[in-house]
């Protein structure tokens, strides 16, 4: 069965800049919660995505869904292991915010995860019930750069949500 170590090995082999986002990234900063999938954002063109798909195939993953094919490439590709034990959602960085999240990635335990600030913005944008639960934990992390979060919350028009979770 492929592991998260295999995923990292595939990312390194494909030579792709990435950042772990979603619940696994949140788990690096606050009390862990269960999640059934693994989410990453990558800086990649079509050729780099193909290198990643090839490297993941060597590790037992296969593509099972792909987002819209745009001139700049697909928005996302979903990979699963042959036994469906691991689902991997790969988002392609299409915005300045996503590119900055990759650049700003922190490396606790030698894994590139989104910073608390970037996760706060991502969770404010998504704002599903599980995202609001993650936000409740993330706002308690010390030393958050709130000016960075406020800037991006304004950019994404989610300042009202930020105010609500900080209240």
pLDDT tens for residues 81-140?
A: 878 777 888 999 999 999 999 999 988 767 799 999 999 999 999 999 999 999 999 999
Locate the domains of the chain by residue range: 1-114, 115-167
CATH pick for 1-114 out of 3.30.70, 2.40.50, 3.30.460, 3.30.420: 3.30.460
Average pLDDT in the 55-63 region? 89
pLDDT > 80? residue 41: yes
pLDDT at 38 (0 to 100)? 85
In this prediction the pTM is 0.88
Q: How far apart are CA 121 and CA 152, in angstroms?
A: 7
Residue 151's pLDDT band (boundaries 50, 70, 90)?
very high
Q: Say if CB 19 and CB 11 are below 8 A apart.
A: no
Beta carbons within 10 angstroms of residue 57's beta carbon: 13
Query: Which two three-digit tokens encode residue 164?
Result: 């609500």
Residue 1's pLDDT band (boundaries 50, 70, 90)?
very low
Q: What is the 3-state secondary structure (H, E, C) of 100-117?
A: HHHHHCECHHHCCECCHH
Beta carbons within 10 angstroms of residue 9's beta carbon: 16
Q: Say if CB 85 and CB 1 are below 8 A apart.
A: yes
Residue 123: in which H helix or E strand, if any?
helix 116-126
Helix axes 146-155, 159-166, angle to 10 degrees: 140
């Amino acid at each position: 069965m492929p592991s998260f170590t295999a995923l990292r090995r595939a990312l390194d082999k494909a030579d792709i800049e990435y950042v772990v986002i979603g619940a696994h990234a949140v788990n690096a900063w606050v009390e862990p919660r269960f999640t059934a999938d693994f989410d990453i954002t990558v800086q990649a063109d079509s050729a780099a995505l193909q290198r990643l798909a090839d490297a993941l195939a060597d590790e037992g993953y296969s593509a099972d869904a792909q987002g819209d094919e745009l001139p700049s490439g697909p928005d996302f590709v979903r990979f699963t292991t042959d036994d469906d034990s691991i689902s991997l959602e790969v988002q392609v960085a299409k915005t300045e915010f996503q590119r900055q999240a990759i650049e700003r990635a922190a490396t606790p335990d030698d894994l590139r995860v989104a910073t608390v600030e970037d996760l706060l913005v991502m969770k404010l944008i998504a704002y599903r019930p599980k995202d609001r639960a993650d936000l409740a934990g993330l706002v308690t992390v010390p030393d958050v750069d709130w000016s960075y979060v406020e800037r991006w919350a304004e950019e994404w028009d989610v300042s009202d949500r930020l105010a609500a979770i900080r209240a």
